[in-house]
Amino acid sequence: MRRGRPGAGTGHRHRHRREQRSAMGRPVPGAALLAAAAVLLPLLPVPPVPPAGAAVPRLRVSANFECRASADSTLSPPRCRRGAPARSPLTPPALALSTARLCRPSLPCQPCLRVRLALRAAGIRGLQLNFLELGSNRASWLQVWRRHRAPGSSPWQVQFDCFPVESGRQVLVSLRTVPDQGLAISRSHLVTAEPPGPVFTHTWVPEARTIEVAVPKGPALMVRLCHQLALECEELPWPFHRQVLVPGGHRVSLPYEFLVPCLCIEASYPHRDSLRSKRCPFQEQPDAYGPELWSSVHFHDYSTSSKDQMAMVLSASCPLRPRATLCWREVAAEAAPCHDVPNSTASEEEQVYTLDKVDVHPLLCFRFSYGNSSHVECPHRPEPAWNVSLSVRGLQLRLHLTSSVPASFSAALCQRRGGQCEPEAPVYTVTRPEGSAPGELALLLPVQVLGSCVLVWRSDVRFARKQLLCPDVSRRHFGLLGLALALGLVVTVLLLNCRGAWRPPAGAAGGRPVLLLYSPDSEEHLGLVCALAELLRAGLGCEVRLDLWEAGGVGRAGALPWLYAQRGRVGRERGTVLLLWSRGSSRLFRLWRGGEGGGEPRDAHDIFGAAMACLHGELGAAGRRRDWVLVYFSRLCSPRDVPRPLRPLPTYRLPQELPRLLGALRGGRPAPPHRLRGRAKGLLHRLMEAEASKEAAGDSSGGCPGSPLQPPGT
């Protein structure tokens, strides 16, 4: 498909006009030419006048050299092109005039004057034609310049199509050279009045979808319906094309397919090359700009998700150039409203409409507007390039994204109010990079308010439709959310009661950062990871750094840079790196070490591998590190699952040694109250039982049932 900017070259045309006027000076006045014409007309031979040729669609100049042309304000800017003369060349000096017809698009045809001339090229750079229409005293001028100096002295052959004239008027034309070499040629030509064309009347019968044509008494007429294009009236497609000979005093009904503005009635006499009469009665008819106008248009969709481009090609019965903008629908139904997208006008060239940086989606459409009518056309491919689904796990919403193209996706929680759902901070982002294999991406969003929805969209393009997802809490998810909210309330009450007993003294380590690391292989592990993180954040006031809570930051910076930045911050602020271990962690550790038989550690490509590489280097350089702590849940792991190189780290078994872990994170080991120990153990046991019951029920979605009510650090 060709692309570009409509109207390219207009600036050059106006610039040439200014250059030509400044070079030529003031045009020769038409009145001064009348006296010269009276003297010169008898002196020069008059070439034979050629018959009128085919219709001329626009003003133009043809020459046998590279040329440029300009005219005064009474004429449209003519085009100047190099081309061989349409007829046999004239012998210089010569000036020949003939009658032609000017049929510009969307305007009725009118007679015009065609000018042909021949000049010797030696010593001249341009020429000027002056026109004077006698009777109306309408004067105009035309200038033609040679663009480049050419060797040799081939005579100039120039043809101008053409000077518009009223029928029955006489026109005086004079020619002068630039620079003036004393040559002045004048000719006059009478544009004879055209006889009137065939006469007929018509009646529109909308209920029968026909046009009734009546021929008055007299000669028979050949009548038909046609679609008026730029230069000709094209016949209607089968079976609506009919050309009927109607005797005088009779009438005929002609059916049409669509009522469109360019539908016309044409009548002619039966003999060859007869005069024709044409009427286009629906150009100002509002009914011609309704649904039938768009039914007559064929839309060819060439949109591609791989190029992030929407592209459509129009083929229509009428020469339309509608305006195209983006709009989006909520549902796939033709009657559904389409909401406009601001500043989304598509570019158009030769009926090809394109718009770049678009998330091509079946519900992101083009709205074509023409006059007071519009039509919505959506991409013809029913499947989008990406899909998203939503699952609920406790106080966490999990988005499952699959994409066939590299892209970035963003999501944000929102609350529905009056049919609207505006995104709220923070915004979470995940990316499928260029060159990566297709697969599933995941985003975890904490539920802040029961009944929250999620808006998901592509964030790496300029125009994207936001997809609204709301969790289904009508069935079993309602029970899970109720359990999660109840557990959240228990956590809040428990930690508020115990925070006073555990409040650290001034200067204690209660506010130091904790970097929580885990293995991502175990789905049931995620809920306990988030529960432990919430316990540390709300109970001790620790600033917990967890990738599940900082999906936006991880997506923007990358997994490895994010980890190294957090590790450096923990070291500077004397915080703790908390490594949550599981059987899956053991498997990943063996893979990282190079397989079951050992070997050199592999390069790290994810957070867990980078954490192992970081820990391996620190243990080798400085021995046992005090800011690394390893914990595991007794029901998900055993001491034998901890690799030998990691056993020197301080290790805590949960939930049995949870109070010791909390004391260690505070910087000391005070014995907590027995009531706190029992409540903390009971809380974690209930969380683990809830995880086990959901696994038994077949819920395979991941989530964080103990996630914070407001994720920090995003």
DSSP track, 548-576: GG-HHHHHHH-HHHHHHHHHHHHHHTT-E
Beta bridge partners of 462: none
Q: Token pair of 558, please?
A: 């990358």
Report the chain's C-alpha Rg in angstroms. 42
SS3 247: coil
Task: Give yes or no for residue 54 having a pLDDT over 80.
Answer: no
Longest Cα–Cα distance in the chain: 130
Residue 559's pLDDT band, with cuts at 50, 70 and 90, is confident
| End-to-end Cα distance, the chain | 44
What contacts 490, CB < 8 A, 6 or more positions away? 683
Stretch(es) of the chain classified as CATH 3.40.50.11530: 480-696
Task: Give the pLDDT confidence of 229-284 residue by residue, as tens digits.
Answer: 877 888 998 889 899 999 999 999 999 999 999 999 999 998 877 788 889 999 88
Task: Give yes or no for residue 173 having a pLDDT over 70.
Answer: yes
CATH architecture of 201-289: Sandwich (2.60)
Query: Does a cis peptide bond (omega within 30 degrees of 0) precede residue 338?
Result: no
Cβ-count burial of 340 within 10 angstroms (0-12 exposed, 13-18 middle, 19+ buried)?
exposed
Q: Average pLDDT of 90-99?
A: 91
pLDDT of 250 reads 94
Task: Give yes or no for residue 608 having a pLDDT over 80.
Answer: yes
Domain 386-469 has CATH 1.10.10: no
pLDDT of 692 reads 52
* Residue 609 to residue 658: CA distance in whole angstroms: 26
Task: Give yes or no for residue 681 having a pLDDT over 80.
Answer: no
Task: Give the pLDDT confidence of 125-147 residue by residue, as tens digits.
Answer: 999 999 999 988 999 999 999 98
Q: Average pLDDT of 194-215?
A: 89
Stretch(es) of the chain classified as CATH 2.60.40: 10-42+53-190, 201-289, 297-377, 386-469
pLDDT of 307 reads 87
State the DSSP string of 618-649.
HHHHHSS-TTEEEEEETTT--GGGS-GGGTTS
Its sign, for the CA torsion 146, 149, 150, 156, is positive
480 residue type, one letter: L
Class level of CATH domain 480-696: alpha beta
Q: Which CATH number fits domain 297-377: 2.40.50, 1.10.357, 3.10.129, 2.60.40?
A: 2.60.40
Residue 395's pLDDT band, with cuts at 50, 70 and 90, is low
Assign a CATH topology to domain 10-42+53-190. Immunoglobulin-like (2.60.40)
Give the sheet arrangement for strand 298-301, strand by strand.
Answer: 298-301, 309-315, 352-356, 347-349
Task: Give yes or no for residue 373 having a pLDDT over 70.
Answer: yes
SS3 504: coil
Residue 115's pLDDT band, with cuts at 50, 70 and 90, is very high
Q: Average pLDDT of 618-645?
A: 79
Cβ-count burial of 121 within 10 angstroms (0-12 exposed, 13-18 middle, 19+ buried)?
middle
pLDDT of 496 reads 52
* Angle at alpha carbon of residue 429, lines to 574 and 363, rounded to 5°: 170
559 residue type, one letter: A
241 residue type, one letter: H
Buried b (16+ CB within 10 A) or exposed e, 148-158: eeeeeeebbbb
Q: Token pair of 117, please?
A: 């001339």
